[in-house]
Amino acid sequence: MRLLNIATDGRLRWAKEYIGNEKVPDYAILSHTWGEQEVIFDDLKNLDSAEDIGAKSKAGWDKIRFCAQQTKRDGLDHFWVDTCCIDKANNTELSEAINSMFRWYQNAKKCYVYLSDVENSTVDGEGESAFKRSRWFTRGWTLQELLAPKSVEFFSTQGARLGDKGSLEPIIRDVTGIPLDALAGSDLSEFDVAERFSWAEDRQTTREEDGAYCLLGIFGIYMSPIYGEGKDDAIKRLQKKIHEAAEDVASVSGGKSKSHNRGQEERLGKICSWLSAPDPSTNYHKAHKQRQAETGLWLLDGHKFTEWKERVGSRLWLYGIPGCGKTVLSSTIIEHLLQQCNGDTRTVTAYFYFDFNDTQKQDPDLMLRSLLTFVLLLLPYY
């Protein structure tokens, strides 16, 4: 876990990185919705040596400044913000963060909810309406940020304190449909699986797979993220993990332990961390968004593609000048294969993009690591 520290002179500095079971100092944590010009890790990675930082010119700096000031007011010296405290270019770190996020929010002394679309200074009259309409209540990741921390305080975009989870409980219950017991901190395992899934039913995430990954902490599940698998497959993997966890509990109650499933998952996570492979799904999603409807269907219907797909050990080479559409065409093929492999226990779709703009995606060794990671993560499910 990487925390920001507020030095005695008021400047921000990086605290040491806390690994494993190291004791973490008391800290505050920010909950918010992502917007334009967020301050990311790269903007602050040289924070300790810089007298001034360009990140202050970004719109997202207002959140960082607010969180630092509120943290100091509450007598704390450390805080965490997801936009800048995770190096999302590091696939291993991102995976660890996704699986640790619920616990990080749960262990925070204070959680500040920054409502960038609420300008009112009170929650009454029009202020209550604005509070209920806030985009914060529609996002997938903010569900665990509401439920995990003991102390959740809500602030307007000007930094006015609107109330906390306790004082605003009836309004939050009305907006979210979450039972008061859950909002008050009851163990989430007391609520059945279907009910917990229903809390996230209408919430949205930018990356479709996050619709499943944002629920890991809600169900107490460890699961390696596989961006590119699609939301449906991610949900299926999550449901499978939930079922296995329930079986473990039942087995322990009966005197038998099936903890090897969880141990196997942890070992798999360590192997993937050791491989430290780049994540090609970012390239896939970018190309997929650029693709127009029905682009590339001529290739999927062609004899050469069908023959390549059905013959073991065969190769299909797409060639052309730079910018002619090979990347977008490849995204069509990948989407087709992912859909075809859905539910097929005999096949796994693994892919990789070489990228001139990313040094992590220019090395054949890292390509092999990435493909191996795909196979390792997908085979346990299939």
Residues 202 and 226 in one domain: yes
Instruction: Report how far residue 225's alpha carbon sits from residue 272's, in angstroms, rounded to the nearest whole number.
Output: 11
According to the model, what pLDDT value does residue 272 have?
Answer: 78
The per-residue pLDDT for range 242-276, each reduced to its tens digit, is 988 776 555 444 444 444 455 666 777 778 778 88
Is 241 within 8 Å of 221 (Cβ atoms)? Answer: yes
Domain that holds residue 300: 277-378
Instruction: Report how far residue 300's alpha carbon sits from residue 352's, in angstroms, rounded to the nearest whole number.
Output: 19
What is the overall mean pLDDT for the chain?
87
**Predicted confidence band of residue 381 (pLDDT cuts 50, 70, 90):** very low
Task: Record the pTM.
Answer: 0.71
| Burial label, 65 (beta-carbon count in 10 A; 0-12, 13-18, 19+) | middle
**In this structure, what is the dihedral angle of CA atoms 130, 136, 139, 144, given to the nearest 10 degrees?**
-130
How is residue 139 annotated by DSSP?
Answer: B
**Going by DSSP bridges, is the β-strand pair 78-80/2-6 parallel, antiparallel, or unpaired?**
antiparallel
Residues 166 and 200 in one domain: no
Residues 303 and 256 in one domain: no
Residues 5 and 105 in one domain: yes
Is 142 within 8 Å of 135 (Cβ atoms)? Answer: no
The per-residue pLDDT for range 97-107, each reduced to its tens digit, is 999 999 999 99
Last residue of a domain, one of 186, 208, 241: 186
Residues 151 and 238 in one domain: no
Packing angle of the helix pair 260-275, 91-107 (nearest 10 deg)? 130
Residues 170 and 309 in one domain: no
Instruction: Report how far residue 52's alpha carbon sits from residue 56's, in angstroms, rounded to the nearest whole number.
Output: 8
Residues 318 and 351 in one domain: yes
Instruction: Report how far residue 282's alpha carbon sits from residue 370's, in angstroms, rounded to the nearest whole number.
Output: 13
Among 334, 336, 338, 345, CA closest to 381:
345
Residues 16 and 138 in one domain: yes
According to the model, what pLDDT value does residue 288 have?
Answer: 81
Last residue of a domain, one of 151, 186, 221: 186
Residues 182 and 195 in one domain: no
Q: How many domains does the chain have?
A: 3
Type of residue numbered 42? D
Residues 160 and 227 in one domain: no
Residues 330 and 181 in one domain: no
Handedness of CA 196, 198, 203, 204 (dihedral sign): positive
Last residue of a domain, one of 186, 213, 233: 186
Q: Does residue 382 have a pLDDT over 50?
A: no
Residues 305 and 366 in one domain: yes
